[in-house]
Structure 1
C-alpha cells in the first residue's frame, strides 16, 4: 500500500513538472527538444557562394544544423545569420561580385536582312573615297605600290566594311599618285548603283 501511494506521488510530481515546462520558453527546455525532435529545427544562414537548388550568394536560407556544421561551415560556403556576418558579406559582395550580364537573345538574320546589309555596304563602297598617303621617288611614282591586300585592310579601317581580296579587280598594284576607280566584284544578286554598269571603289593616293 505504501509503495502504491509513493508511486502516485511520483506520477503527480511528473505531471506537475510537465505542465510547468509547457508554460516556459521551449528553447530553454531540453526535455521539449526531445519531445518535438531537434532534428527538425532549421538554421538561418547567409550563403557566401551560389549553391544550386539552395540559393545565390548573399541570400539568407534555412538549412539543417548538421548540413551547416558538416558541409557549409567547414568549406566557408555559408555563415550564421547574425548582423556582423551579414555586414561582412554585404561589403565583400560590393567589392568582389561580378556584374551580372543580362542575356540578350539575338534573332537569327533572314536572307532578306542579309541582302539589305549587302546592298547598304555596296552603296557605301561606291560612294566612299578611300584616301591613302605615300612617299614618292621621281615624278608621281610611289616608293611602295598599293597592293590589293592593303586596299582590303584600308576599307575595313576607314569604311568599317569587310571585303575579301577577290571582291577587288586589281590586276596590278597602284604605283602612281592620283585617283583611281577599282572595279568591285560583288554577287550578282546585289543590284548595281543607279546609272552604273559596274560597282567601283574610289581610291585617292596623295603625297605623304
Structure 2
C-alpha cells in the first residue's frame, strides 16, 4: 500500500469597482486527504484538508484598449501566469475565462474602471493506493465560480414569473445593477437563450459576436 498523489486547481473570479483597470491574482496552497483516486472519475470523500496558506498576491495592469484582441490578450495572460511560476497549460481554463471577460468588457467600454480579483488555490491531494503500478499524477481544474451568475439566473426567473422589478440584479455585460442604472429606466432585453442584459449593452456586444456572452449559444 502506498500514498499516491495528484493535484487540482480551484479558482474564482470577482469584479470590483476600482480606480484603474487591474488584475489581482492571489495564490494559495492546501493539501487534502481523500478516500480514493480521482482519476477514475468517481466521487470521493475528503477525509482531511489543511487550511489555505497564501503564497502570492500580485497586481497586474489589464488595459482593455490594448487587450481587446483575444489572441493578444491570451498571450499576455500566459506571460503573467508564467511570471508566477504557474503552468500555463494547467491554468488554460482560467486564462480562457479571463480572456473572454476582457473581450466582452472592451466591446462595451474601453475606459471602465475595475479590479478583477482571481483566487487560484493549488490543492495537493493524497490517497491510499493498493496497486503497485505507477503512481498517477496530474493537474486538473476542480471548480469554477465566475462573477456570480446566480444573479442573472434570478433575474430571468423573475421575468418569467411576470415580476416588474429587477431586484438589484446586474447586467452581465456592463455589471451595472438594472434598478440603479439611470434610475432603473434603462431598457432590458431577453435574448432567445433566456439570458437578460441591458438592451444597449447586448446590441453593442452583437456588433462583435453572434453568441450569448454567458452561455455562448449561437444566435
TM-score, with normalisation over the residues of structure 2? 0.23
Relative to total residues, which structure has the larger helix share, 1 or 2?
1
Relative to total residues, which structure has the larger strand share, 1 or 2?
2
Instruction: Determine which structure has greater relative contact order: mean sequence separation of CA pairs < 8 Å that are 6+ residues apart, divided by chain length.
Output: 2
Larger radius of gyration: 1
TM-score, with normalisation over the residues of structure 1? 0.24
